[in-house]
Amino acid sequence: MHQQKRHFLVVSFDGLRPDLVSSELTPNLTRLANAGMTLENHRTVYPSETRSAFPSLVTGAVTSCHGMVGNKYVDRNIVPPRYIDTADAVLLRNLDLASGGRLYSVPSLGEILAAHGCSLAVLTTNTPGTTRLFHHKAEEFGHVRLSGHFREACTPDDVLAEIEEHISPLIPAPPKTEPDRIGQDWITTAFLDVVWPKYRPDVTILSYGEPDVTSHFHGTGSEATRSIITHCDRQFGRVLDWWEVEGRQAGVQIIAISDHGHITGHTRISVADSLRAAGFSPGVAPAADIEVVVVPGQVGALYLADPDEAEITRLVATITSEPWCGPVFTCAKDEVNGIAPGSLSNRLVFADHVRAPDVAFSFRADDTIDPFALVGGTFYDNDRRAGLGVHGGLHPKELAALGIVAGSAFPGAGCISTVPSGICDVAPTILQLLGVAVPQSMTGRVLAELIAPLPNDGPSIREDVFDAHLGAYAQMLRRVHVDGACYISGGWVS
């Protein structure tokens, strides 16, 4: 009997905490869960930032493999070194061209599919840079990549023109203080009315850029954030209606994910001020008079102008004496420890790429309850008020990600898988189910437990715990292994 051709639709909700999925707030995601299987222990990568996590989605690999070491980083492979903000789609295109196509250090899903005669379509309301990172070589293969707002991230031109004529011209993104409803509607309609019926991609990524932005500017459990979660779920409900009537019969498998969670910033600090008080000359970009670049963001990335072991040790001693400092990582001294006393090896969190900072750290987080009754609070370093959503670090609620699968490839309705899984596992699972060989570059695993009943006791699962100390500072990192894959469970300072 001829097996029906499979298609995959990956639907992402940027920054959605799995514990905000409920029949009241997200009835359509709940409907999907009832039709399929929920991944109860699904996680993202470190740093738990969008433009590290989505590269892990499409490369099936951890940060140390694909090289997007953070939303922002310092590139020291060029002279003079420069600060890179990966939100910029044009900059990313230029970096890829200048490096001979090595923006990513490993192949991504779009490239792999194209090599096997398959297509990847991308429709998003994320930043222009994030949109490009989903399929940074789409124009080379004639694949569809559409932004709901940013023309510079869209390709091909004729497809964009066709959709603009059918729906409306691209509308600029609203101010970040306003939830983005119109963009979510636009990409949903574009998929349902044009991209699917006309182009039938083998794999489609439909990425709602909310509730991430609203959480950052209103709070993770605020009324505004809950409202945009429900709005995105309503748009997804249109997709689910189509799937139940048409898509399912056409062999479409749905994978619903988020790229990270959020916790609440409760105490504002300044890393630069702390470093200045300790005798360093800090700045936000490389310059002649800057000793240490403090990359802006919720995950700490420190790049020294002179990164010798003594300076790295002095830098780690400085930050670990501060009340805001959480887990700290430097390049490996041995299998566990970093070269600076008190630090762990950055290999333990898969952050040891050539672009990686000399010192990576998370802000100290805790299990305080925020004003919206959500668990998870942290120190933070930005210009916004306390009480708003942040992410990037190692709190379990930042690492926790949504994972629901449904379709003929995934037997079982209303089931829950408790086997740990992660964002790196999505691409290898899709490739396996499409009959495409999973490349060695992918560190994620095929989620075999979702595809067929496992023999005997299921996969081999084991945990490891690492710690490091310096004076009164003590940190701990917890990970879990499933067969050959490894997931970060959390990092703490006591």
Are 209 and 303 in the same domain?
Answer: no
Structural domain that includes position 281: 265-387+463-493
Residue from 32, 27, 29, 12 nearest 248 by CA? 32
Are 242 and 272 in the same domain?
Answer: no
Q: What is the pLDDT of residues 361-414, one digit of tens each?
A: 999 999 999 999 999 999 999 999 999 999 999 999 999 999 999 999 998 899
Number of domains in the chain: 2
Tokens representing residue 112 in the block: 């792999």
pLDDT confidence bin for 17, thresholds 50/70/90: very high
Q: Do β-strands 72-75 and 82-85 pair in parallel, antiparallel, or remain unpaired? A: antiparallel
d(CA 286, CA 276): 16
Do the domain assignments include residue 210?
Answer: yes
Tokens representing residue 395 in the block: 């709190």
Task: Let me know: does 119 contact 203? Beta carbons within 8 Å.
Answer: yes
Q: What is the pLDDT of residues 247-276, one digit of tens each?
A: 999 999 999 999 999 999 999 999 999 999
Q: Rounded mean pLDDT of 171-190?
A: 97
Are 318 and 193 in the same domain?
Answer: no
What single-letter amino acid sits at 457? Answer: D
* Residue scoring higher pLDDT (149 or 2): 149
Q: List all residues 6 or more positions away from 279 whose beta carbon is below 8 Å from its beta carbon.
A: none
Are 292 and 440 in the same domain?
Answer: no
CATH, residue 205: 3.40.720.10
d(CA 351, CA 359): 11
Are 334 and 199 in the same domain?
Answer: no
Q: What is the mean pLDDT of the chain?
A: 97
Are 140 and 258 in the same domain?
Answer: yes
Are 192 and 319 in the same domain?
Answer: no
Q: What is the pLDDT of residues 333-351, one digit of tens each?
A: 999 999 999 999 999 999 9
Task: Let me know: does 272 contact 424? Beta carbons within 8 Å.
Answer: no
Asked if residue 211 has pLDDT above 60, the reply is yes
Phi-psi region of 157 (alpha: psi -120 to 50; beta: other; left: phi over 0): alpha
pLDDT in the model for residue 79: 86
Are 185 and 269 in the same domain?
Answer: no
Q: Rounded mean pLDDT of 225-241?
A: 98
Q: What is the pLDDT of residues 71-108, one digit of tens each?
A: 999 999 888 999 999 999 999 999 999 999 999 999 99
d(CA 175, CA 353): 34
